[in-house]
Every structure is written in C-alpha cells, then in structure tokens.
Amino acid sequence: MDINRIIRVDMSTGSVSEEEAPERYRLLGGRALTAQMLLDETDARVHPLAPDARLFIAPGLLGGTSVTTSGRTSFGFKSPLTGGTKEANVGGQLGHRLARLGVKAIVVSGASQDGWQRLDIDKDGARLSSADDLGGKSNYELHRELVGEAVNSRAAATIGPAGEHRMASASVAVTDPEGRPTRHAARGGPGAVMGAKGLKAIVVSDEGAPRVVPGERKDAFRQEGVKFSKVVLDDPRTHNLSKTGTAGVVKFVNRENVQSMPTRNHRKGSWELADGISGQEIDRLGQERGGKMLPCMAGCIIKCAILYNDAAGQHVTTALEFETIALLGSNCEIGPADAVAELDRMCDDIGLDTIEVGNAIGVAMEAGVLSWGDFEGAKGLLEEIREGTPLGRIVGNGTAHVAKTYGIDRVPVVKGQGLPAWEPRTLKGMGITYSTSPQGADHTAGMVTARGATPETLMKQSRHEQLVMMAIDSVGVCQFSNALPGDMATFISNRFDLDYEDEQVLKMARAGIEAEREFNRRAGFDSSDDRLPGWLHEEALELPDGPSIFDIDYELVDKVWAE
C-alpha cells in the first residue's frame, strides 16, 4: 500500500481535510519530510506559538513495515525554546499505526476557538471533537483513558499540564507497548506548540487497517529485514543495551579520564555517588523488584527500555535513560536511583523534556532557589510546573529562562537548548555537533565520542554522523539499530521498487540539513549562533593528563557545513 495521505487539521475552523502527498515528497519521511514541509509552509519569522505556526507529524519511510525499530515518529515545528527549526523524534506505538493507515504526515495549523480538542484517526478517516473533559489531566491518566485495554490497536500522543501551560520544555507523550505514556517527543517544546493549538490529544487506531507490505520486491525486503535483524542482534552494543539500557554507560563516562557525567550544573564531569544511579545498580534493583527490559515499540528486538519498579514492586517508570539520569541525577546531585526514577515519572506525567528540566533545575540550584541534592525541592518545582505557578513557569520555560530570571551567567545551552550529558570539553566531537546542528545542543543529532583524534578528523566525523542521523530519523529507525547508509539504501530500494544507492541516502540527508539551516537563516540565525557558551572554553575539567576545555578553532568548526 502507498503511504501518501496528508491530513490537514485547521484548529481555527475545526476542519479536517486530506490530500495526496505530492510526488516531490515521495522519498522523504520523518525528519527530512517535516524539515522540508516546515520550510515550505511556515514563515520562519512567525511566533512559534502563534496560530500561523504549524506542527508537522510524520512516520519514517519504513514506518509500518517489519524492519526492526522502524516505528519512530518525527514532530517538526518552529521551536519556542530555540526560535529555530526543530525535530523531536519519538518511539512508541504511534509511527507504525499512522503508517498502517497510510498517513504520511499530519499538519496542524491555527488555534482552537472552542476549548480543548482531540483528533481521532482510524480506517474511517480523521475527526476533530471537543476534549474539554481531558483538559487539566496528566499523561498517565490520559493514556489509561484514551488507550486503556485497546493497547494492541491504539496509540495516543498527548500533552500534559506543561503543554497546556505552553511551556518551552513541554513534550508530547506517546503510548508505549504497555499502554503507558513513557515515550516522549521531548526536545524543543513540541508540547507547547500543540498546547497553543488547543490540541490535547491525537488518538490513532489501526484496527482493521491493512498491513504495510512493500510492492514487487517484497521478498527481498523481507529477507533484508531478517539479515539486518541478525546483524543487530550480533552487535555487542545491542547486548549491552538489552541488559542495562543506555544507563549502562554511567560507570564508563563517570571515570576520571572521560568525565562526561555532568555534575553540579556541569561544573564537574564525574560524581562520587554515580554508582547509585548506574545501569548496573538499576539492573540489581530490577532483579529484586521485578524490573525488566522492554521494547519501546512493537518489533524492536533490542529492548533498551528499563521498566523500573519501586521497592514494593509497583511500576514507577519505563524510561530511565542515561540522559535523564545524568541531568536530573548527577547534574543536580540527586540520587539514588529511586529518587531519579520518581522525578522521571513526574516528568512523563506532566509532559516535560527531562534534559531541559534537569538543566533548568541545575541552574535554579546554582541560583540558590534550592540546594544541590534537594530531591524534595526538585519534586516541588515539578509540581509548580504542573500547577503553572509563576515559579513553575520560570523553570518550565527552560534553562536559559531560569538563568535570565536569576541573573546566572553560566548557562548550559546552545541555540537556547539545554546541554545533553555528553561532555564537549572531553568529547570534543560532541562540541562540534552541538555547535553546528541546526537543532541546538542535541546528542542525537550526531554522536562523536572518539577521543584523541585530530580536530580535522572530529569535524569530518561530526558532519558524517549528523548526516547519518538525519537519514536514520528520516527512514524512521532507531539510532541504536546502528543502521548504515547502505542498509537504508537497500530498504528504500526494496520498499519503493527502485535502485537507491548509499550516496543518495546521504544526499537526501544533506538536503534535509540544508532545509533546516535555511529555515534557521530565515529566522535570523547566523554563524555566531553556531557557538558553545563561553565557559566551556574557559573552565577546564581536570583529567589525569591535564586540564581540558573545548578548544577547537571555530574556523574549523564552521567547515562542517561550509564544505
């Protein structure tokens, strides 16, 4: 079947219409598609929360198929956090269901004049209806109500209170295979954009929809899928992820010669209590409490999602990931694992990006709003966000907003977005990615963790990894599948009955990045925005072989996209 329906939802008039995707979008999906549509359809100078701003939601090119991890979904929009282009990428059950209904993209414009609305999509079409009964509800309650027992055919994408308050760190929560709201399109504030439109929930049911089966080359497609799964399963990185999830890296990055465990608002790169929030400790607790490793979407054979129970064996969260642990944990000096898990659950429930909020709370601690390690204080701040109090709005609007409010000059952001855990002073390739990604500080934009390589090599690696990640986010597979351009070219060829080469995958990715960069240019960005905050050049981390700062020449950094 073709996946070529574009569903347009005008929240101002309450109308829903459909059209066939134009031919020029045929080989675009996920991030490349939302980036191009954002550029084509949105004035880059628009206020991100204005009715004229648009929200684009798209599964990847392989959505709905049997390729492992291929059910990811892209949310594209102008970010209320960065003021530029944004793509927030999410797993969960939404992408496959949209693709099975033939949906290539949903475009949401306008703003509701009639209270909260919900959008239902199923085999009979797409409909808007009043959702005032859902207003004020948090994500766990929402997903129980909207998905409930129908978890095998239904998925929801919802905003919690943070999105209702239009906060710049608000996420969109997507249903996981157990019906919980633990997967989040988090970065850059998609929840705020959805909230500004008055759209509380999107509910997708693929009951009765046909399976997505490629055309003439379906046998080759299936065989390549089996081959790819075997490569993924044999990869040692998969074994580690399947055992301790991304949390498994905590002990490694906390070592004194890596120092990539942000501590005390990124002042230090390791924390003496990090063992208590490590993947190994979480694994040990899980064995006592009935924890387990789960897929975040049907068909993922890696299963890196940690289901974390409390001491009584009750579910707390299924999203205890490295970045969350680092930003809400060591960066705020909060532990042990039970405490971080509770904060994580609150973020999922309220609908918040854990990276942004962890950074924002770290800056609030630096400002003396609460003390380092104050777990109860951090919970209190999250409750203030839920309630939309003035202090809650300050923190919920992100790291830079907190810093500005309290006059803090050590601001861990690039293009207004909070720094992930991967440390640019020791892993300098990450600094190049954070500087040059059109997305702002985003570890998923292009991971370069090599140490000891020349600056020139790191610059080239950053460019290559950013292109590969654009391709991965566009075909809609998970980065942890480690799909190579050749894998993606083979799948696209067999999926669409054409002969696609590795170079075309990278060309498509480059065009996607250029669409994002062009949007940012039109929004007023220039090369001065492709810079890390000054303190990363001045405050050294003390490594065994000497102090380390981010010291790569920006003339070289600027070559990432100049060449």
Nearer to ligand SF4, 35 or 304 (CB): 304
Nearer to ligand SF4, 235 or 383 (CB): 235
Segment near ligand SF4 (CB under 6 A), from 103-111, 205-213, 290-298, 341-349? Answer: 290-298
Which pair of structure tokens corresponds to residue 174?
């997507």
Segment near ligand SF4 (CB under 6 A), from 138-146, 294-302, 311-319, 436-444? Answer: 294-302
Q: Does 282 bind ligand SF4 (CB under 6 A)?
A: no
Segment near ligand SF4 (CB under 6 A), from 2-10, 295-303, 343-351, 531-539? Answer: 295-303
Give residue 377's identity as a one-letter amino acid code. Answer: G
Segment near ligand SF4 (CB under 6 A), from 46-54, 163-171, 292-300, 370-378? Answer: 292-300
Q: Does 174 bind ligand SF4 (CB under 6 A)?
A: no
With beta carbons less than 8 A apart as the criterion, state whether 85 and 38 touch. yes
Provide the b/e sequence for 289-302 (b: ≥16 CB within 10 Å): bebebbbbbebbeb
Residue among 131, 142, 127 nearest 198 (CA): 131
Binding-site size for ligand SF4 (CB under 6 A) equals 12
Q: Does 305 bind ligand SF4 (CB under 6 A)?
A: yes
Q: Does 346 bind ligand SF4 (CB under 6 A)?
A: no
Q: Does 404 bind ligand SF4 (CB under 6 A)?
A: no
Say how far apart CA 551 and CA 154 lie, in whole Å. 49
Say how far apart CA 392 and CA 264 lie, in whole Å. 21
Report the SS3 class of residue 184: strand
3-class secondary structure per residue, 73-109: EEEEEECCCCCCEEEEEECCCHHHHHHHCCEEEEEEE
Give residue 351's identity as a one-letter amino acid code. Answer: G
Nearer to ligand SF4, 300 or 378 (CB): 300
Site track for ligand SF4 across 77-96, x = CB under 6 A: --------------x-----
Q: Does 300 bind ligand SF4 (CB under 6 A)?
A: yes
Residues 6+ apart with CB under 8 A from 376: none
List 129's β-bridge partners, or say none. Answer: 118
Place of tokens 């995707």: 21
Residues 6+ apart with CB under 8 A from 509: 32, 467, 468, 470, 471, 474
Q: Which of residues 461-490 bind ligand SF4 (CB under 6 A)?
A: 478, 480
Nearer to ligand SF4, 51 or 177 (CB): 177
303, 410, 522, 559: residue in contact with ligand SF4 (rule CB under 6 A) = 303
Nearer to ligand SF4, 299 or 377 (CB): 299
Segment near ligand SF4 (CB under 6 A), from 298-306, 307-315, 338-346, 416-424? Answer: 298-306
Which residues of this chain interact with ligand SF4, rule CB under 6 A? 69, 91, 295-297, 300, 302-305, 478, 480
